[in-house]
């Protein structure tokens, strides 16, 4: 059996290793490290980023239900974090992919409401336009 190597025992090493695993598309290993980071250092300033990246890893693997759960934790557990903006956007994208257009639109609208000067403003507006077009087609949208 393959044994998992020990994880770094300091926040910098653990977070950096998780980032490397995410960058090299080793999503399970990235999540394992981010989870360990969150369990060991829940009040670290990078906790919201770690949680967001767990959602991103699931999203990249097309595990959208898992991604939505992870992204929700960013919004619920770190409401004042700058990562909420991206969590809202990614949630909208995930809902769109699984054909939940009403829910997707809600997340993009919430992003625009909470962050009127968002760097994601144009992208969110484009997604809303696309959702409006897709909503007319049952093959694209179930809700």
pLDDT of residue 96: 96
Global confidence as pTM: 0.92
Q: Which residue has the tokens 């977070």?
A: 15
Closest CA to 58 of 76, 44, 72, 47: 72
Three-state secondary-structure class, residue 105: helix
Angle between the N-to-C axes of helices 101-114 and 121-134, in degrees from 0 to 180, rounded to the nearest 10: 150
Percent of the chain with pLDDT over 90: 85
- Tens-digit pLDDT profile for residues 66-77: 999 999 999 999
Over residues 49-59, mean pLDDT: 98
Instruction: Say how many residues make up the chain.
Output: 143
Q: Which secondary structure element, helix H or strand E, spans residue 118, and what is its range?
A: none
* Whether residue 113 has pLDDT greater than 60: yes
Exposure string of 96-105, with b = 16+ CB inside 10 Å and e = fewer, is: bebbbbebbb
């Amino acid at each position: 059996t393959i044994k998992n190597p020990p994880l770094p025992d300091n926040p910098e090493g653990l977070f950096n290793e998780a980032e490397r695993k995410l960058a090299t598309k080793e999503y399970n290993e990235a999540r394992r490290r981010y989870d360990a980071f969150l369990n060991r250092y829940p009040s670290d300033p990078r906790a919201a980023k770690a949680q967001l990246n767990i959602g991103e890893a699931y999203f990249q693997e097309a595990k959208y239900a898992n991604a939505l759960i992870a992204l929700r934790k960013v919004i619920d557990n770190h409401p004042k974090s700058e990562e909420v903006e991206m969590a809202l956007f990614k949630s909208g994208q995930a809902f769109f992919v699984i054909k939940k257009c009403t829910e997707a639109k809600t997340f993009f609208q919430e992003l625009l409401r909470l962050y009127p000067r968002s760097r994601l403003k144009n992208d969110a507006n484009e997604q809303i336009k696309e959702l409006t077009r897709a909503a007319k087609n049952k093959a694209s949208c179930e809700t």
